[in-house]
Structure 1
Amino acid sequence: MEKPSILHLFTAAKNASPFDVNMAFDAGFDKIMPYTSVELAEVAGLTQDAIFSRSPSGVKREGIFIGGRDIDLAMQMLKAAKNAMFSPFACSVFADPSGAFTTAAAMIAKVETHLKAKFGEDLSGKTLSVFGATGPVGGCAAIIAAKQGANVQLVAHNSVARVEAKAQAWNSEYQISLQVVDGSSDEKKAGIVAQADIVISAAAAGVQVLSLQQLTQSRRLKIAADVNAVPPSGVEGVDVSHDGIQLAGTGIFGIGALAIGQLKYATQHALLKQMLPQDQTQERIKYLEFMAAFNLARELSNNQS
């Protein structure tokens, strides 16, 4: 009799995400076991408890999912879980804190797809300004875009020093060159937008960070993407259903929360299914994080276009 598939869900948060639990069941896991308020130092012990309780064939029907809200902590947890395992006692690990990795991956994949379709260009050398840059989605999107060659600006809406600290840490960790700009006033935001090829908004739900007037003052802006699905939109004029729709009276193309969300859902679903391959003996163990999510989201987005 085949052993049940089990997903062990580690999160530093007080509660496991119902979204992630539902996604794991829908992907095909038989059992999901959440572990909450998990500290980094506990990850190795939990991982070894999971893998040593089964035979090598049984371990291949397990997976570890890293949740939480902190993208840096999630990456540290993934590394700790990976380092605690050794062949043949090893299983796949997937980090996606607050869905940030798959959401950011979907957002940048959509930007890339429409930039190519509408302008025949890619992200290399483009100035991309991130509003809501210190949140998990904004920060992760910034890192992904920078890795694709974009000149990424993290927009600080109050504390420049706080954002600079984030940028310095990410630049060191991922060998990129994020810049920080002051967006603490409408005038400063307008100046940022005027020099950007792409703007993305990952600010708090229901908060408008850019007006249509600020967008239309720019002569070089090509793409505006917004993950906010709660009215008002984070970027005025970008509807939640926009998927490369030209904003009226402009040369700007909008990407809204539903278009990003649908690709995010498909990406997370597919990555979870990759942790349960049909032929376990032929599949390599996978360690899935934001770049794995982006590579898959890019593939899915290109297939949709």
Structure 2
Amino acid sequence: MERSYILHMFTPGKQMSPFDINMAVDAGYQVVVPYCGVSLDEITGLTQDAIFSRGPKGVKATGIFIGGRDVMLAADMLARARKAMVPPFEVSVIADPSGAYTTAAALVACVERQLGVAHGTDLTGKRVLILGGTGTVGRIAGVLAAGLGAQVTLASHRDQANAERAAAETAQRFGCSLRGAGTGDEASRRAALAEADVVLATAAAGVQVMSADDRASAAGLLVAADVNAVPPEGIAGVGVMDNGKPIAGMRAVGIGALAVGNVKYQVENGLLVAMRNADKPLYLGFAEAFDKAREILAAKG
């Protein structure tokens, strides 16, 4: 009898994201089971329940998805699940809390591509300002950009202390260098924009973090990218469909939320399909998501 493809979906939250459930079904999983309120200490037991019940052949048709809203907890859960495996009882695992890993991967890959296409350069040495940078997508985008040699600042509209705390926590967990900056008032925001080569807007939906008037402060800007698809746009002048479109009055090009979202969708789908088709177990976090995003954009030319 042919085995059904099962995806066990673990989240520390009250519910699993309907978005991710839809993605799992569309990627070919026939049985999708959410487990809510899962703690880090429960990962080992749940993982071993999943691997031992189907035999060495059945584990190839079994996968684990880790969600939630905490990007660092998700990374810890992924590591804990991997450690719980007992070869040959071993299944593939993907972590994508709040879609942050795949969204951040798509965002940074799109920026990297437009830096090359529009300006003939890359992220090495670039000053990257992430507005709304203390959230899930902002933190991981910061880690990825820092890994490519950028000088990254996570900005918070609340205050300097919140930004510095998020930068320090994230940098320590993922082994990179990040700065924090408070940009809640006009003067501090425009001072930060004046130093930026790249701006990423990763704030909450419907929140504009860079106004049309702010753009005058960002004279050196090369790329501005926004993940907010809910009006008003996170960066004034960057439409949701823009994909390398010049921003009026600037040499910078813009990347809109739907352009990023299209790549994000392909990344998540591609990773879920890869898990289902893998001969050997895969362990997929934001680094693997970024590799997939680069692959997708390279294939587009």
TM range (shorter): over 0.9
Aligned residue number for residue 3 of structure 2: 3
Of the structure 1 ranges 211-220 and 98-107, higher mean CA displacement relative to structure 2 is found in: 211-220
Q: Secondary structure at the residue paired with 1:276?
A: helix
Same amino acid, percent of matched pairs: 48
CA contact (8 A) 2:160 2:182 kept: yes
Residues 248/162 of structure 1: CA separation in 2 closer, same or farther (3 Å cut): closer
Q: Quote the offset at 1:43 in angstroms.
A: 0.7
Alpha-carbon distance in 2 for matches of 1:162, 1:232 = 25
Alpha-carbon distance in 2 for matches of 1:125, 1:168 = 20
How many equivalent residue pairs?
301
Q: Quote the offset at 1:249 in angstroms.
A: 2.1
Alpha-carbon distance in 2 for matches of 1:160, 1:222 = 25
Q: Secondary structure at the residue paired with 2:199?
A: strand
* Letter of the 1:150 counterpart: A
Q: Quote the offset at 1:157 in angstroms.
A: 1.5
Aligned residue number for residue 286 of structure 1: 282
* Letter of the 1:218 counterpart: A
Q: Quote the offset at 1:214 in angstroms.
A: 1.5
Aligned residue number for residue 73 of structure 1: 73
Aligned residue number for residue 273 of structure 1: 273
CA deviations 1:263-302 (Å, max 9, x no partner) are: 000000000001111xx5xx22110000100011011112
Q: Quote the offset at 1:174 in angstroms.
A: 2.1
Q: Quote the offset at 1:191 in angstroms.
A: 1.1
Alignment of 1:178-217 (within 5 A): 178-217=178-217
- The RMSD of aligned alpha carbons is 1.0
Alpha-carbon distance in 1 for matches of 2:72, 2:173 = 10
Q: Secondary structure at the residue paired with 2:268?
A: helix
Alignment of 1:105 with 2:76, yes or no, is no
Aligned residue number for residue 24 of structure 2: 24
* Letter of the 1:241 counterpart: M
Alignment of 1:51-66 (within 5 A): 51-66=51-66
The gaps in structure 2 that reach 5 residues or longer are none
Q: Secondary structure at the residue paired with 1:212?
A: coil
Alpha-carbon distance in 1 for matches of 2:187, 2:161 = 20
CA contact (8 A) 2:219 2:250 kept: no
Q: Secondary structure at the residue paired with 1:34?
A: strand
What TM-score does the superposition give when structure 2 sets the normalisation length?
0.98
Alignment of 1:43-192 (within 5 A): 43-192=43-192
The gaps in structure 1 that reach 5 residues or longer are none
CA contact (8 A) 2:67 2:97 kept: yes
Of the structure 1 ranges 177-186 and 229-238, higher mean CA displacement relative to structure 2 is found in: 177-186
Of the structure 1 ranges 166-175 and 78-87, higher mean CA displacement relative to structure 2 is found in: 166-175
Alpha-carbon distance in 1 for matches of 2:284, 2:224 = 28
